[in-house]
Every structure is written in C-alpha cells, then in structure tokens.
Amino acid sequence: MQVKTYLQRQWKRILSGRVSLKDFIFAKEVRLGTYSARISSLPPAAIVATKAMRVDRRAEPRYAERIPYVVIHGEPGARLVDMVVDPLEASARLCNQCSENEVAAATAVIGKTSKLEQEMQHLVSV
C-alpha cells in the first residue's frame, strides 16, 4: 500500500509540472565509429549526438563522452530513434514562448555546456 501511495504522489507531481526536467535526463557514453551503420541500431545517446552533428559538425563528441538525452512522448508504436532529444530541445518544446532569460535559466538548470566551454574545461584540467 505504501508503494501505491508513493507512486500516486509522484505521478501527481509529474503531471502538475512540479518536477525538474533534470530528473528525466539520462547521460550515456558515446563511442561513435564503433556502432553498425544502421541508425536504428544506435544507442539513444549516439542518436542525439548524430542529430547535433547534423546541425553543427563541430559537435562531434569525444570518444566515451557522456551525452545527455531525454525520451519524449511519441505516437503509439513510435521507435526510440524518434523519441530521444537533447535536453535543451525538450525544454524548448515545453516552453515555446520563453524569454531569453528563461532559456538561459533552463540551460543553467540542465547543466548543458557548449562545446567550446567543454573544450576549455578539458584544457584547464590537463
């Protein structure tokens, strides 16, 4: 009975929007170049990385870099390939009318840094 009430309480929080997007973000290591050629056989993090590389070629992740992703709601029978997105894209979908300050706050909450910032952090740590 305790499990049932706990789950009901959590679902109410989720449905009312009182949870952070951060609670739904997965981050897995990506090793591009080691997967088969079919896009449907790629892991979710690799799918998000390849989508980002289509937009910006410099977005190629380093070997074994952890790529964050969110699984969004899809049509019944939709493939996982069609339902994984970058957390920033998911926050943009949730908030179509956001101001620049709200988008900046969402970026800070998610903890996503740009490629340039990641490279700078990597150089500093070396």
Q: 84 is written with which tokens?
A: 């994984």
Taking the C-alpha atoms of 63, 107, 95 and 45 in order, what is their torsion angle to the nearest 10 degrees?
A: 10
Q: 77 is written with which tokens?
A: 């029978």
DSSP bridge pairs for 67: 28
0.75 surpassed by pTM: no
Burial category of 26 from C-beta neighbours within 10 Å (exposed 0-12, middle 13-18, buried 19 and up): middle
Q: What is the pLDDT of residue 42?
A: 87
Three-class secondary structure of residue 69 per DSSP: strand
Per domain, the residue ranges of the chain are 20-125
Per residue in 69-107, pLDDT (tens digit) is 998 887 888 888 788 999 888 877 766 655 555 555 555
Q: 29 is written with which tokens?
A: 């290591």
